[in-house]
Amino acid sequence: MDCSILNLTLFQRGHVYAPDDLGQQDILVANGKIVAIAPTIAAKDFPGCQQVDLHGDIVCPGFIDQHVHLIGGGGEAGPHTRTPEVRLSRLVEAGITSVVGLLGTDGITRHPESLLAKTRALEYEGISAWMLTGAYSLPSPTITGSVDRDVALIDKVIGVKCAVSDHRSSAPNSAALATMAAQSRVGGLLGQKPGISVFHMGDSPHMLEPLYDILTNADVPITKLLPTHVNRAEPLFQAALEYALDGGYIDITSSIDEPIDPATAIVTALRHKVPLSRITLSSDGNGSQPEFDEHGNLTGIGVAGFESLIGTLRQLVTQHKLPLEQALRPLTRTVAEFLGFEHKGRLAAGCDADILVLNQALEVSYLWAKGKAVVKDGKACVKGTFE
C-alpha cells in the first residue's frame, strides 16, 4: 500500500487524556482523522508515515471555544472602542482548534454576513469554525431574514444568540424570546444542527427568569438554552447552579475574574453536585470588557484574550487539585456534547485529529488541527492570511 496518499502521522509515547486518562498510548492519524489508539502501534507497519515522539507529554483534545467575537465586539464607548478581528495565531497558541463565533452589543455596525465570512476564512486557514446568528437585541439580525432559515440553510450557522437581564439588551418579552428559541430549535431539526439558543447574561435582578419563561411558554428542551457569563455576579451564579441541577447547561467565562473566577466557579458547581456533563467553559475572546458604575455609565473598557482558558485549566489542577481528566471536560467533551459534535472534543477512532500536547507545567507545546501542525514549541507555525 502507498501510505503517502493517506497522510499518515504516528504520535508515539504520549500520556493520553481523551479526556479520560488512557495512560501511555500511540495515536495513528490518517487524512486528518484518528484511525487508531493503542499502547503500541508499530511504525514499520505503515511505511512512510511521519513519526512524532511525545516523550510522555500530556496529549488531549484541542479546546473548543464556543463563545468568541471573531470579528470583534465592543463599541460601548463609541466607534473607537470596537475591538479588532481575531487572529488565527492567537487562537491556536491558546490550544483552540474549534470556535463558535457570535456578535455582541453592536449588531448595527457589525453584521451576521461579516461574521459568516470570517467563520469561513478561519475554516480555510486550518481550524474548525461555526457561528451563531443574532446579536444582543430582538428581533435578531439574520442573513436570510429569519432565525430558523439561517440555522436550517446556512452550513456554518448552528444556533442563535441574544442578551437578557442586561441594561444593553432590548428588553425582549417572553413571547419574543420563546419564538426565537423555537425557531432556532426547528431550524436545527431541519438542518441537522444543534439549534441552540445562547443567552448573554447581565447582572440584573431578573437573572435566569427569561430562560424559565421560555421553558414555560415553548416546548424547547432545557438542554438547548445556554446561559453564559454566569460567574459575573454571585446571585446569578447561584441561580445558574439551580438551573444546571434542573438539567440545563451553564457556561462559565474564563476571562471573568470577579466576583467569581472561573476555576472557583467550576469547583463550586461540583461541590453543589452539578455534573461535569453540564458545565462548559468559554473565553468571550476579543469581546470588550466594559466597566460600568452604579448608574450604568461606562468607566473603562478592555479586550478579553484567550490565555484564560489554559490558565483556568492550570488553576483547576494545581490550586484546586482537580484531576486533569475532569479539568479538561468543560473545554472538550462537554462542549462537544452540548453542540452535538460527535467528531470533536475527544480522542477516539473516527474523531478529527485535533491533538493538543501540553508539557508537565500544563503549557501549550504543540497543536494539530485536523491533523495539520499549527503550533510548535508554543508558537504558531501557521498564520492567518494577513498576519
Q: Domains (ranges, CATH) in the chain?
A: 4-60+346-380 (2.30.40.10), 62-339 (3.20.20.140)
C-alpha angle 193-199-201 in degrees, rounded to nearest 5: 160
Range from 56-60, 84-88, 294-298 carrying the lowest mean pLDDT: 294-298
Q: Name the amino acid, one letter, at 368.
A: W
Provide the strand spans (E) within the chain.
8-17, 21-30, 33-38, 50-53, 58-61, 63-68, 96-101, 128-134, 157-164, 196-201, 225-228, 250-253, 279-282, 288-292, 298-303, 355-358, 364-369, 372-376, 379-380
pLDDT of residue 294: 76
User: Both ends of the chain: CA-CA distance in Å?
Assistant: 39
pLDDT of residue 318: 97
Task: Measure the CA–CA gap between 135 and 142, rounded to whole angstroms.
Answer: 9
Q: Name the amino acid, one letter, at 348.
A: A
Per-residue HEC secondary structure of 243-296 comes to HHHCCCCEEEECCCCCCCCHHHHHHHHHHCCCCHHHEEEECCECCEEEEECCCC
pLDDT digits (tens, 9 = 90+) for 295-342: 777 777 777 889 999 999 999 999 999 999 999 999 999 999 999 999
Tell me what percent of the residues of the chain surpass a pLDDT of 70: 98
User: Other C-beta atoms within 10 Å of 119: how many?
Assistant: 24
Q: Which long-range contacts (CB under 8 A, 24 or more apart) does 22-26 make?
A: 22/347, 24/56, 25/59
pLDDT of residue 290: 67
* Binding-site positions for Zn(2+): 67, 69, 161, 200, 229, 284
Q: Which three cell numbers stand for residue 365?
A: 507545546
List 15's β-bridge partners, or say none.
24, 58
* Binding-site positions: 67, 69, 74-76, 105, 136, 161, 168, 200, 229, 232, 284, 288
Interacting residues of 177 by C-beta distance below 8 A, sequence separation 6+: 138, 162, 164, 210, 213, 214
Show the DSSP H helices in 126-173 as ranges. Answer: 147-153
Confidence of residue 254 (pLDDT cuts 50, 70, 90): very high
pLDDT, mean of residues 173-198: 97
pLDDT score of 259 more than 70: yes
Annotated catalytic, 20?
no
Task: Measure the CA–CA gap between 262 and 281, rounded to whole angstroms.
Answer: 8
Higher pLDDT, 77 or 377: 377
Give the CA radius of gyration of the chain.
Answer: 21
**From the candidates 26, 261, 284, 352, which is the catalytic residue?**
284
pLDDT digits (tens, 9 = 90+) for 277-288: 999 999 999 877
Task: Measure the CA–CA gap between 236 and 71, rounded to whole angstroms.
Answer: 28
pLDDT score of 71 more than 60: yes
